[in-house]
Structure 1
């Protein structure tokens, strides 16, 4: 987040980015996650069933 504040531009948070989502740190100190449709990883409920698995998003304040 410090780099985003310093540069005034969005910065990708690689530790929070996955094959189906991208998280960026915004210059105002917030995080934004963009989720795209994609295949579930092997072993995830709903994989191969044609159904979307339930979404669980933990929020952390720090």
Structure 2
């Protein structure tokens, strides 16, 4: 898809470090969790962060 903006990475990384146990490798579940745990007003930004988190969990590159 391309290079992710730094704000997507920073939000996703911060959420993974603080709330790792709430996220899974399912994109739709991560979207629902983001709606509940973070105050992201834009649906597009929420979906991009959910996709970033899903990709990080699936590739196991997060410490």
Same fold (TM over 0.5): no
* Greater percentage in helix: 2
TM-score (norm 2): 0.20
RCO higher in structure (CA 8 A, sep ≥6): 2
* Greater percentage in strand: 1
TM-score (norm 1): 0.20
